[in-house]
Chain A
Amino acid sequence: MRERDRLVDMAARVMRASNADQTEVLVHAHRRALTRFASSAIHQNVEEEDTVVTVRAVLGRKVGVASTNSLDQSSLKGVAERARDIADHQREDPDFESLPLPKAASSVEACCEATAGAEPQRRADVVKEVVEEADRQGLEASGALSTQLDELSVLNSLGVELSHSATWSVLTAVVSSKDSSGYAACCSADLGEIRAKEVAREAVEKCLKGRNPVEIETGRYDVLLEEYAVEEILDWLSYIGFGAVRYQDGRSFMSGRIGEGIMGEKVSIYDDGLDVTAHPLPFDFEGVPKEKVDLIEKGIARGVVHNTLTAGREGRGSTGHAIYPQAASLGPIPLHLHMQPGDSSKQELVSSIEEGIWVTRFHYINGLLDPKIALFTGMTRGGTFLIEKGKVTRPIKNLRFTESMLKAFSNVAGVSKETKVLSSGAFGASVLPAVWIKEFNFTGKTEF
C-alpha cells in the first residue's frame, strides 16, 4: 500500500504551520480507475491520482475550512494560513465546542493488492467476460468496472491521529435487447472476488426473460424489491432522515418519533462501518471512531447518526459519522447501511405472492416530495416482471411508483435471507436483502 507514514507526516507539517487555537488536518490520497463499456465495447477508460489536504482551523468558536491538492511546502503552509484567515473572518458559532478528543479506533483490514495494483488490461479482461456472455445471446452489454485505493489520515491538535487504507472494486452490467434490459452488479475489496460471469449471466437472464413486455394497469401491487432496488430506497432514506441535521431541524421522518413504531416489525436497519465486507471505514472524517448505530429496530425508530457538532447540541457523544467539512450543511450521514435479513429465500418469498411485481431496480428516485412521511417517486428498470400465483410469469413495461416509504416499510411481509453488498458512493457500502412489500403504489406508466 502507499506510504501511510508520508500522509501522516504531511498532515503533521500542515499542523505545525497552523497558528489557530485548534487545527484539524485531513489527508485523503486516492488512485481510481474505471473501465466503462457500452454497446459491448470499451468506450471510456480512465485513471486518476490525487491527494487532497483539508484543514479545519478553529479560533475560539470560529471555524474556517480550506483545501488544496498542491503538496509543495509553500502550498501546504498556504492552506493552513488560508483556513486560519477564513476562521478569522467567521462569526462565532454558539454550537461549536471543540474538535474531537482522541479515541482509539479499531483497525480494519480492507486492502487488497489485486485491486490496488490492477492494471487496465486486467480490468479489460473482466469486462470482456461480461461482453462475451451477452454476445453469446446476441445481446449488447454496457456497464463499468472500477477499482480504487483510498488512504485517509486525520490528525488534530488535540491528539487525534488515525489512518486507514481501503481498496474497493465495483462491477455493474446492463444487458440490453431491442425491448428489454437486465441489470446486475457486485462489489468487493478484492478484484479477484468480482464474479464477472455470474454478474453477466444474471443480467443476460433478465434481459432474455424481459423480451416482449406487456403493459399493465397502474394501482397497488405486492412487490418483490431486489437488493438493488432496496439500496436505492435506503440511500434516499439515509439522506432525508437518518442524519442528525435534518432530524434536529424537524425535517426528518424520524423527528420526534424515536421509540415509536414507524415501520413493520420485520424491518431492522443499522449502520456498521466496521463490517469488513462492506468497504469499511473505522472512523469518520473528523477522526471519531465509528459506532454501530441502530436506526430502525423491528420497526421502531431508535436513533440517527451524529458528528461532534450535532452530538454536542444534544449533550451526547458523536457516533462517528461526520463527512467532509466542506459538506457540513448535509450533516452526518450513515455510509454503511445494513438491513437485517430474514429466513426465507427470494424464491420462497415469490412463491407466497399471489399477484405482484418483481422489481430489479429503480431509476431516478426522488425522496423530496414529502420527507416527513418519506414520500418517494421513481421508475422501475433493469428487469420488471409480473408475479402470478407464486411464480414470475411475464415481463412488463416499466412503471412509476409514488409511495410513502414509512407506509411501504410498514407493509413488509417478508425479507430474504440472501443479501448483497452494494455500493453507490466513493466511500462505504450497504449490505441488504430483498424485501416483499404489500400494496406498493404504482401511479404511472411509460412506453417501454
Chain B
Amino acid sequence: MYLKEEAKSVIDRLRTQGIHYGDIRVVEAEVQNISVRNGRVEVLSSDASSGFGVRVLDKGVWGFASSSEISEKSMRDVSERAVDIARSSLALKKQPVALSEEEPQVDVYRNKVLQDPFRVPLSQKIELLLEADGVMKRKEKVKVSQAWMRFYRTKKIFLSSEGTDIEQLIVESGGGVSATAAQEGEIQVRSFEDYGTRGYELVEDLYLPDKAEEVASEAVQLLRAPECPARVSSVIIGPSQLALQVHESCGHPIELDRVLGAEAGFYGTSFLTLEKLGSYRYGSEIVNIFADATIEGALGSFGYDDEGVKAQRVPIVERGMFVGYLTSRETSARIGQTSNGTMRADGWNRIPLIRMTSVNLEPGEPSLEELIADTREGFFLEQNRSWSIDDRRLNFQFGTQIGWEIKGGKLTRMVKNPVYTGITPQFWGSCDAICNREEWHIWGIPNCGKGEPEQTAHVSHGTSPARFRDVEIGVLR
C-alpha cells in the first residue's frame, strides 16, 4: 500500500527540479467508534482513510497537494500540483520562508500497546458500554445516559528531500460516560472521559461502570443543589477542569504560528507576543509548565512530528516566567532557534500545523486534603461544561459541571451551574498552591481545533488541583 519506492522517487524528482525543500507523508488511518445511548448502541462504525500529501517549499513559499489515490502516477501528478500551488503563492510573498537546520532522521517508532484495541472483540466492548449505561439508567432521574469508546490507529511514512525517512505507528484509545439528569425543566450533566496513546488497557483502567455510578449520582444530586453564588472567591480548580484551563489559556497562546499571525483570519492570535519571551510574568512563582511529546501513554506523544523533528520536552513557564513557545522549523527560524517538534497534521490531506503535545502543569507540594484544609472559604470546581476565551486568549469564562463550597477548611454543600471568569496572566498570577504528584494525572483531549481547513488534534494536559485567589465566580445572568 505504501509504495515507498514511488514516494522516494517523488522526493528525488523534487530534488532534480531544484525545489528548495519537499516532503511526502503517506498515511493509513483507521478509527473505530462505539457509542451507546439510553441502552441502545447508537453508533458502531469503522472508518478507514488513506492517502498522501506532498509539501514543497520553493522560492520561499509553500505549496501542498494531496490525494487519496495512492499510485505512482498520482504521486507524480500531485507533487507537480504542489509545485504549481507554491508558485501561485509567489503572487503574495513577503518574507521568504526559511527553515531551521535540523539533522535528518531515519527511524521507526511505535508507541507501547499492551492490548491491540482493534483485536478486542466488538461484543466485549459493547457489553462494557451497555453495563456502564445500565448503571446510569438505574437512576430514575437520569434521562439520557451515554457511554463511548474510540480507537485510532495511524500508520505514517515521512520522507523529506533532506534525507529524513521515518515510519511511525501510533495507536490511541479512549472512552467516557455521561449522565443527564432532568427535573421540572432543568437538566444537569455529569461526565467523565479520558484518552491516551495506549491500547485497550487504557479503557480497562477507566473502570467505566464505576465512573458511571459516580457521574449518575452526582447528576441527580445536582438537581437539588443550590446555585453557585456570584462573588469574588478563592477557588480550587479540579484536575480535569484545570487541564482545559491549561489548554485554552496556555497551550494555544504559546503556539508560535498563532503568535506570528498565521491564525489571525480564523482562530485568532496570542497575547504572548515575541518581546515577552523570557521576560514576561505569566503566573505566580509556583507555576511551572512544560510541553512534552515523549511521555509514554500520553495523548499527544509521538516519535517524530510531521516535519521529521524528534519529539522533545521543552520548558514553557518557569517559576512563573514565560520562557518558551511550541515551534516548527519555519517559526523557530524566525526567532533564531531550532524546532521543538510540534508540527502535526490531521491526516494525509492536511498540512502540519503547530499543535500542542502534552502541555503540563508541574505538581506542587500539598495533598488535596491539605489544600482544602488550608482554605478557609472558597469553592472546589470540577469538570468542564462550557468554554470560551477571547481571540488573544486573555478573557476567559468557563462553566463547570459541579462545585462544592469550602468552609472552614472543609468541603461542604454541593453547588450547581458554577462559572468562573478572569484574565489569563492575572488568573495564573493568583495561583498560590498546586497539589502534589499523587493528585496529578494526564488528561487526553481528542478534539483540539485549529486551522483552515479545520484540523482536529489529539493532545493532553497533566494537572493536579490548584488554588487561585480572588476569582470572579457565578457571573451568569
To the question of whether A and B form a pair in one complex, the answer is: yes
A residues with CB within 8 A of B:
32, 34-52, 63-71, 79, 82, 86-87, 89-91, 93-95, 119-121, 123-125, 127-128, 131, 140, 142-144, 146, 172-174, 176, 249-251, 256, 325-329, 363-372, 375, 377-379, 381, 398, 400, 402, 404, 441, 443-448
- A246 CB to closest chain B CB, in angstroms? 9
List B contacts of A50 (CB < 8 A): 49, 51, 67-68, 349
A90 touching B41 in the complex, CB below 8 Å, given contacts A45-B86, A69-B51, A400-B395: yes
List A contacts of B94 (CB < 8 A): 39-41
Beta-carbon contacts of B382-424 to A below 8 Å, as 1s and 0s?
0001111111101101010000000000000000010101010
List B contacts of A378 (CB < 8 A): 388
Contact A372 B44 (CB under 8 A): no
Chain B residue with minimal CB distance to A63?
B44
List A contacts of B40 (CB < 8 A): 91, 93-95
List A contacts of B366 (CB < 8 A): none
B475 within 8 A of A: yes
A69 touching B50 in the complex, CB below 8 Å, given contacts A42-B91, A379-B388: yes
* Cα distance, A144 to B126, chains bound together (Å): 43
- A425 CB to closest chain B CB, in angstroms? 9
Contact B47 A67 (CB under 8 A): yes
Residue contacts A-B, CB under 8 angstroms, 14 given: A39-B260, A45-B64, A46-B453, A48-B66, A51-B68, A90-B44, A140-B261, A142-B261, A363-B390, A366-B387, A379-B389, A379-B395, A400-B395, A404-B477
Contact B66 A68 (CB under 8 A): no
List A contacts of B442 (CB < 8 A): none
List A contacts of B95 (CB < 8 A): 41
Contact A45 B265 (CB under 8 A): no
Kindly identify which residue among B61, B144, B392 contacts A448, using a CB–CB cutoff of 8 Å: B392
Given A44-B62, A250-B182; 18 other pairs, CB 8 A cutoff: A39-B264, A48-B53, A48-B349, A51-B68, A66-B46, A86-B44, A89-B122, A123-B88, A124-B88, A249-B180, A251-B144, A363-B268, A364-B387, A364-B388, A366-B386, A398-B390, A402-B397, A402-B419
B114 within 8 A of A: no
- A26 CB to closest chain B CB, in angstroms? 12
B285 within 8 A of A: no
Kindly identify which residue among A87, A379, A447 contacts B423, using a CB–CB cutoff of 8 Å: A447
Kindly identify which residue among A43, A91, A325, A369 contacts B476, using a CB–CB cutoff of 8 Å: A369
* Cα distance, A46 to B66, chains bound together (Å): 8
Contact B391 A326 (CB under 8 A): no
Contact B144 A326 (CB under 8 A): no
B81 within 8 A of A: yes
Contact A39 B394 (CB under 8 A): no
Contact A66 B47 (CB under 8 A): yes
* Cα distance, A144 to B451, chains bound together (Å): 11
* Cα distance, A41 to B126, chains bound together (Å): 51
Contact A41 B391 (CB under 8 A): no
* Cα distance, A79 to B47, chains bound together (Å): 9
* Cα distance, A172 to B452, chains bound together (Å): 11
Chain A residue with minimal CB distance to B53?
A48
* Cα distance, A173 to B265, chains bound together (Å): 7
List B contacts of A82 (CB < 8 A): 46
B153 within 8 A of A: no
Contact A369 B65 (CB under 8 A): no
List A contacts of B336 (CB < 8 A): none
A368 touching B452 in the complex, CB below 8 Å, given contacts A41-B94, A45-B63, A400-B395: no
A443 touching B45 in the complex, CB below 8 Å, given contacts A42-B93, A45-B62, A46-B351: no
Kindly identify which residue among B81, B265, B399, B476 contacts A37, using a CB–CB cutoff of 8 Å: B265
- B422 CB to closest chain A CB, in angstroms? 9
B471 within 8 A of A: no
List A contacts of B53 (CB < 8 A): 48
* Cα distance, A275 to B417, chains bound together (Å): 40
Kindly identify which residue among A146, A172, A402 contacts B477, using a CB–CB cutoff of 8 Å: A402
A41 touching B395 in the complex, CB below 8 Å, given contacts A47-B65, A402-B476: no
Contact A46 B64 (CB under 8 A): yes
Contact A39 B261 (CB under 8 A): yes
Contact B48 A68 (CB under 8 A): yes
Contact B264 A174 (CB under 8 A): yes
* Cα distance, A34 to B185, chains bound together (Å): 45
B84 within 8 A of A: yes
Kindly identify which residue among B43, B88, B182, B389 contacts A65, using a CB–CB cutoff of 8 Å: B43
* Cα distance, A291 to B303, chains bound together (Å): 50
* Cα distance, A93 to B122, chains bound together (Å): 16
Kindly identify which residue among A95, A327, A367, A369 contacts B419, using a CB–CB cutoff of 8 Å: A369
B225 within 8 A of A: no
A91 touching B265 in the complex, CB below 8 Å, given contacts A70-B50, A369-B399, A398-B390: no
B33 within 8 A of A: yes
B266 within 8 A of A: yes
* Cα distance, A173 to B264, chains bound together (Å): 10
List B contacts of A174 (CB < 8 A): 264-265
Contact A42 B130 (CB under 8 A): no
List B contacts of A398 (CB < 8 A): 390, 395
List B contacts of A45 (CB < 8 A): 61-64, 85-86, 88-89
Kindly identify which residue among A140, A144, A370, A377 contacts B397, using a CB–CB cutoff of 8 Å: A377
* Cα distance, A381 to B5, chains bound together (Å): 49
Contact B68 A372 (CB under 8 A): no
B42 within 8 A of A: yes
Contact A49 B89 (CB under 8 A): no
Contact B69 A49 (CB under 8 A): yes
B99 within 8 A of A: no
